[in-house]
Amino acid sequence: MDEVPIKASNDVVHVRQKVRVAAAGTGMSLVDQTKIVTAASELARNTLVHGGGGMARVEVVSAGSGRAGVRVAFSDHGPGIADPGLALTDGWTTGNGMGLGLSGARRLVDEFDLATEPGEGTSVVVIKWSR
Amino acid sequence: MDRVPILKIGQTLLVPIQVELEDQSVLQLREDLADEIVATGAKGVIIDISAVEIVDSFIGRTLSTIGSMSRLFDADTVLVGMRPAVAITLVELGLSLEGVRTALNAEQGLRLLGAGS
């Protein structure tokens, strides 16, 4: 497992690179690699911009059938998300973007788990499986 | 931060993106291009993203604003060389690149601008 601190803008690039290497190692198709790297890029930026920085944990996981996948867990101790359901709606934005970060990232992965507590922080775990 | 170079060929500015795009690089490119279009009076901008492995919503949105901004200086922007995996991912992400036209490669981009022979 690789841990990547997310403290500055270029850490988003570091997260992408770690996820790219892990995804390529599972034998995942190039399209699926691109999807998980793009989702990780969105979520890393959220961690930085909305969470005030945090951490990404990147690891290769395997399902019972021998299928391999990449799991990326993002965590921050920022303000949290008051209404996660709303935050996952296309077009919902705090004003800086187009509101595709969270909802778009969810569409690009196979598993998406968001846990957030106002005042405590946010954790997002995503998995992409190789086909 | 890596800076993206801007080449001038006739009335066209060619921008080959060969670096891993961090947010600052793409914002810097937007500023550099504005300055360069105004300084040269270029009528077209070709941004070559054939070496770009991912375009996320931030990068995509900034490319869009580059296109809209160029319009204000009477220049058209064509995005060329998008990788198939990037195109598929952009569509799924829900991102439409308003403000920019697209072409398969730089040659076709030039033709679109009416700048090639």
Chains A, B: CB pairs < 8 Å: 71
Instruction: Tell me the shortest Cα–Cα distance from A72 to chain B, in angstroms.
Output: 17
- The whole-model pTM stands at 0.92
For chain B (length 117 residues), average pLDDT per consecutive 10?
A: 91 94 93 97 97 94 95 96 96 89 95 75
The sign of the CA dihedral B21, B80, B98, B4 is positive
DSSP A16-76: HHHHHHHHHHTT--HHHHHHHHHHHHHHHHHHHHTTSSEEEEEEEEE-TTS-EEEEEEEEE
Judged by a CB distance cut-off of 8 A, whether residue B86 touches chain A is yes
Beta-carbon count within 10 A of A119 CB: 9
Q: Which residues of A touch B1 (CB under 8 A)?
A: 10
Q: Would you say the ipTM is above 0.95?
A: no
Which domain covers residue A19, as residue numbers? Answer: 2-129
Helix B84-93 with B57-72: angle, nearest 10 deg? 90
Q: pLDDT digits over A56-87, tens only?
A: 999 999 988 888 999 999 999 999 888 787 77
Helix B84-93 with A101-108: angle, nearest 10 deg? 120
Structure tokens at A39: 């989702």
Measured distance CA(A94)–CA(A116) in Å, rounded: 16
Q: Which residues of A touch B57 (CB under 8 A)?
A: 42, 97-98, 100-101, 104
Question: How many structural domains does chain A have?
Answer: 1
Instruction: Determine, for residues A104 and B22 on separate chains, whether the beta-carbon distance falls below 8 Å.
Output: no
Judged by a CB distance cut-off of 8 A, whether residue B61 touches chain A is yes
Instruction: Determine, for residues A34 and B24 on separate chains, whether the beta-carbon distance falls below 8 Å.
Output: no
Measured distance CA(B75)–CA(B68) in Å, rounded: 9
Instruction: Tell me the shortest Cα–Cα distance from A91 to chain B, in angstroms.
Output: 10
Query: The domain that contains A32 carries what CATH number?
Result: 3.30.565.10
Superfamily designation of domain B7-107? STAS domain (3.30.750.24)
Question: Which residue from A64, A36, A50, A57 is spatially nearest to A122, judged by alpha carbons?
Answer: A50
Q: pLDDT digits over B8-19, tens only?
A: 999 999 999 998
